[in-house]
């Protein structure tokens, strides 16, 4: 071994600390430096005025238009009309019933975010089946000494949530049955499922809602009439279940043939092999697609405004045109958009957590 003296090199450019990080990631070449400066400029010119308008110069306190004087956002409007946005035209004395629904939903959802919560499965099942029944009796009234509230008075956030929740809870099982039916070896069942799916996928949701609200009563005999909200719900559920079926069918097709064969070779019948072997794997594969459909459904509920149901967006709109308030449409729409975003983003985050949890480390 020889003892060669190494020539001493210049010390390496710092790659640690804030300056080092910036040098590596933001200013590594002249082009990158230019782009960084451009981005910073854009952020400055866009976000600073937005921040000034929405927070710095905004009016937060007060009760009517005269309190909005500073020229920024008039959040007083949202505060003043919040009851309308949340409860719709529900009688003020009965607001507590809606509050109970919100509270119950929150209490039931919390366990789902913990890995090991006692009886988590049963709570989940209750949320899907028992909870809607409780909500039905609580909101409709007319029994247990509760004052009846007709569905025409439901509105705002609670109406949006009812539409979305029922749509999601009912469309998934119907979608599963349709997807299995479409892959059935029995020609009659397969044909029925294909016709159903293609029919509902081929029409826009607006026309479905319109049919349900305007056309259907014309075909019903005189005197027979059922609730407008119920008709809209059935329309939404059938429409969304057709989409759901196709998403789930994709998952069923991705399961290797060997899984079906192994289940059958062990003596499991059709329903047992589907529910124990095939569907758990297929549904896990299609979580992204199913959640996509859920989120689309959540936002599509706004279309009920066309048949005169006031969901959260429609109630915001009705408040904007109120002559008591001027120039509040930006605030109103931002509030509506933010409400939707909170729910859709929560659904998305939950589904990602679920996907991670169900990962069992297999490659196929």
Q: What is the DSSP letter of 311?
A: B
| Among 269, 323, 342, 357, interactor with another protein by CB under 8 A | 269
Give the other-Cβ count within 10 Å of 313's Cβ. 24
Judged by CB under 8 A, which of 45, 144, 219, 362 binds another protein? 362
Q: Which is nearer to another protein, 12 or 267 (CB)?
A: 267
The answer to whether the CB of 206 falls within 8 A of the CB of 232 is no
254 binds another protein, rule: CB under 8 A:
no
User: Which one of 116-124, 126-134, 261-269, 311-319 is the stretch in contact with another protein (CB under 8 A)?
Assistant: 261-269
- Least CB distance from residue 271 to another protein, whole Å? 10
Q: 58, 80, 232, 277: which one contacts another protein (CB under 8 A)?
A: 277
Cα–Cα distance between 193 and 238 in angstroms, integer? 12
Residue choice 268, 334, 344, 354 for contact with another protein (CB under 8 A): 268
Candidate segments 42-50, 227-235, 263-271, 300-308, binder of another protein by CB under 8 A = 263-271
Binding segment for another protein (CB under 8 A), chosen from 132-140, 153-161, 273-281, 311-319, is 273-281
CB 252 → another protein: shortest distance, Å? 14
The answer to whether 306 and 225 have CB atoms below 8 angstroms apart is no
Residue 163 to residue 225: CA distance in whole angstroms: 20
265 binds another protein (CB under 8 A): yes
Nearer to another protein by Cβ, of 61 and 364: the residue is 364
Among 146, 140, 304, which residue's Cα sits nearest to residue 213? 304
- Find the binder of another protein among 264, 327, 341, 345 (CB under 8 A): 264
Nearer of residues 61 and 257 to another protein, judged by Cβ = 257
Find the part of the chain contacting another protein (CB under 8 A) among 45-53, 157-165, 203-211, 277-285. 277-285
Tell me how far apart the alpha carbons of residues 49 and 58 are, in angstroms, rounded to a whole number. 12
Based on CB atoms, which residue is closest to another protein, 265 or 342?
Answer: 265
Task: Give the number of residues in contact with another protein, rule: CB under 8 A.
Answer: 24
Q: How far is the CB of 249 from another protein (least distance, A)?
A: 19
Site string for another protein, 307-326 (x = CB under 8 A): --------------------
Q: Which residues of 234-255 are buried (b: 16+ CB within 10 A; e: fewer)?
A: bbbbbbbbbbbbbbbbebbeeb
Strand partners, 59: 74
Task: Out of 276, 321, 337, 353, point to the residue binding another protein (CB under 8 A).
Answer: 276
**218 Cβ contact partners less than 8 Å away, ≥ 6 residues apart:** none
The answer to the question of residue 281 lying near another protein (CB under 8 A) is yes
| Contact set for another protein, span 129-188 (CB under 8 A) | none
Among 119, 120, 201, 272, binds another protein (CB under 8 A): 272
Angle at 320 between CA 318 and CA 323, to 5 degrees: 100
Q: Which is nearer to another protein, 259 or 329 (CB)?
A: 259
Q: Which span (149-157, 171-179, 215-223, 264-272) binds another protein, by CB under 8 A? A: 264-272
Pick the closer one to another protein by CB: 45 or 271.
271
Which residues form the interface with another protein (CB under 8 A)?
A: 256, 258-259, 261-269, 272, 276-277, 280-281, 284, 358, 360-364
């Amino acid at each position: 071994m020889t003892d060669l003296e190494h020539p001493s090199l210049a010390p390496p450019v710092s790659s640690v600390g804030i300056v080092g990080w910036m040098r590596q990631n933001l200013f590594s070449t002249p082009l990158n430096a230019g782009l960084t400066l451009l981005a910073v400029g854009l952020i400055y010119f866009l976000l600073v005025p937005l921040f000034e308008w929405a927070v710095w110069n905004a009016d937060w306190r007060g009760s009517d238009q005269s309190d909005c004087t500073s020229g920024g956002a008039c959040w007083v409007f949202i505060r003043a009309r919040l009851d309308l946005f949340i409860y719709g035209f529900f009688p003020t004395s009965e607001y507590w019933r809606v509050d109970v629904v919100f509270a119950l939903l929150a209490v039931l959802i919390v366990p789902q975010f913990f890995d090991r919560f006692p009886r988590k499965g049963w709570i989940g099942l209750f949320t899907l089946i028992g909870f809607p029944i409780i909500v039905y009796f609580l909101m409709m009234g007319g029994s247990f000494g509760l004052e009846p509230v007709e569905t025409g008075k439901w509105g705002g956030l609670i109406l949006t949530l009812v539409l979305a929740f029922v749509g999601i809870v009912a469309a998934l099982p119907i979608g599963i049955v349709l997807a299995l039916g479409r892959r059935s070896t029995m020609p009659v069942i397969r044909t029925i499922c294909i016709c159903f799916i293609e029919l509902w996928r081929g029409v826009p949701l607006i026309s479905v809602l319109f049919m349900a609200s305007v056309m259907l009563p014309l075909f019903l005999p005189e005197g027979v009439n059922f609730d407008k909200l119920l008709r809209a719900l059935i329309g939404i559920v059938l429409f969304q279940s057709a989409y759901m079926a196709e998403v789930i069918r994709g998952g069923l097709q991705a399961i290797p043939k060997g899984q079906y064969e192994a289940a059958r070779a062990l003596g499991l019948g059709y329903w047992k092999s589907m529910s124990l072997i095939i569907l758990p794997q297929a549904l896990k594969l299609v979580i992204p697609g199913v959640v996509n459909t859920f989120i689309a459904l959540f936002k599509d509920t706004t279309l009920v405004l066309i048949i005169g149901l006031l969901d959260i967006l429609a109630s915001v709109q009705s408040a904007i045109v109120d002559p008591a308030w001027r120039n509040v449409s930006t605030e109103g729409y931002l509030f509506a958009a933010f409400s939707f975003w909170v729910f859709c983003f929560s659904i998305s985050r939950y589904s990602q957590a679920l996907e991670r949890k169900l990962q069992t480390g297999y490659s196929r």
